[in-house]
Amino acid sequence: MNLELKAEVLEEFSGNRLDRFLKLSFGDEVSRASIQKWIESGFVRNQDDRIQDKSSIKVKVGDRYSVSVPPRPPLNLEPVPMDLPVILDRENYLILHKPAGIASHSGPGDRSPSLVNGLLFHFKELSKAGGESRPGIVHRLDKPTEGLILIAKNDRAHGKLSELFRKREIQKKYYAWVQGHPPEEEGTIDLPIARHPVERLKMTISPKGRRSITHYKVLKYINSRSGRKFSFVDIGLETGRTHQIRVHFQSQRCPVVGDLLYSRAGAQFESYGLQLLSYFLKFKDPFTGESIEANLPLTERFLRFEKNAPLF
């Protein structure tokens, strides 16, 4: 069965190249290189059912595009035994507890086993829509981030779940320990995020970036015996940009505890890992209409940090 994807050009995307527009529409788990191959192969059509075979086509408001991608060839990746607790198992998808320190999928220069290797060990059915190197992966969590992640068992599920993410119909919540106290006990950070112009592994606040919205509420404050301040924060994402929570809280001078990329003090808390947990997912099952909700309790390393924070 072909993978079917659709996208309509909104005002914020008008003027983009076709390949970039489709990349923005389908999210981080479909590479731009894959999209360009789809276009070159004649898999993309416009609202008039005409094949669009040039990536450089400029899109405009109201244009509609459909992508029909044939099944991919068998994967050739090595299965690796891995502890992947299953939180929810349905016919078309899974919700797993991803450990910290495991990348969602392999990236440039990273040869360590990823979540994909563990998925291939445990599960026979996985979607291939995200690319040969990303079976089952609909969305991602940063490598040091722990928590709930949705896995598609087939391409049909991948398409439907991706659509829920695109329409922002999946509610995601995180817990985080951050350094310092945010400016307000409850608030919203609405700052655009873009790739860092020099440090390509990092993201940064930039007026040229994509709009990014993070809601938060401080649940607990801790002042250590040396005067250091920490805050335990409940976070809701309205958008899902790369490193969004980490960049937004760094912009408030409250980097996430243990963040080696965005905090100068991150290494001091390295034994606790990045204190960021994807603890809540809620969405409507795209096949049955049932309301699906998954929760994770705080794990040992978060509780250990809270116990020791007053001593820093």
Q: Report how far residue 26's alpha carbon sits from residue 35's, in angstroms, rounded to the nearest whole number.
A: 10
How far CA 130 is from CA of 79, 123, 249, 271, in Å, comes to 18, 17, 30, 33
Q: Give me the half-sphere count of Cα atoms (radius 13 Å) on the Cβ side of residue 13.
A: 20
Q: Is 48 labeled as catalytic in the residue annotation? A: no
Quote the DSSP letter at residue 164.
H
Among residues 98, 123, 91, which one has the least CA distance to residue 286? 91
Q: Report how far residue 67's alpha carbon sits from residue 163's, in angstroms, rounded to the nearest whole number.
A: 13
Q: Report how far residue 84's alpha carbon sits from residue 113's, in angstroms, rounded to the nearest whole number.
A: 13
Q: Report how far residue 65's alpha carbon sits from residue 18's, in angstroms, rounded to the nearest whole number.
A: 9
Q: Report how far residue 212's alpha carbon sits from residue 161's, in angstroms, rounded to the nearest whole number.
A: 21
Q: How many CB atoms lie within 10 A of CB 271?
A: 11
193-195 and 171-179 beta bridge pairing? unpaired
In 212-299, which residue ranges form alpha helices assigned H by DSSP? 244-251
Sign of the C-alpha dihedral computed for residues 283, 79, 131 and 213 taken in this order: positive
Task: Give me the catalytic one of 28, 48, 53, 142.
Answer: 142
How far CA 112 is from CA of 67, 109, 116, 117, 143, in Å, comes to 33, 9, 11, 10, 11
The alpha carbon of 119 is separated from its chain's Cα centroid by a whole number of angstroms, namely 17
Q: Are 64 and 109 in contact (CB under 8 A)?
A: no
The residues that are catalytic are: 142
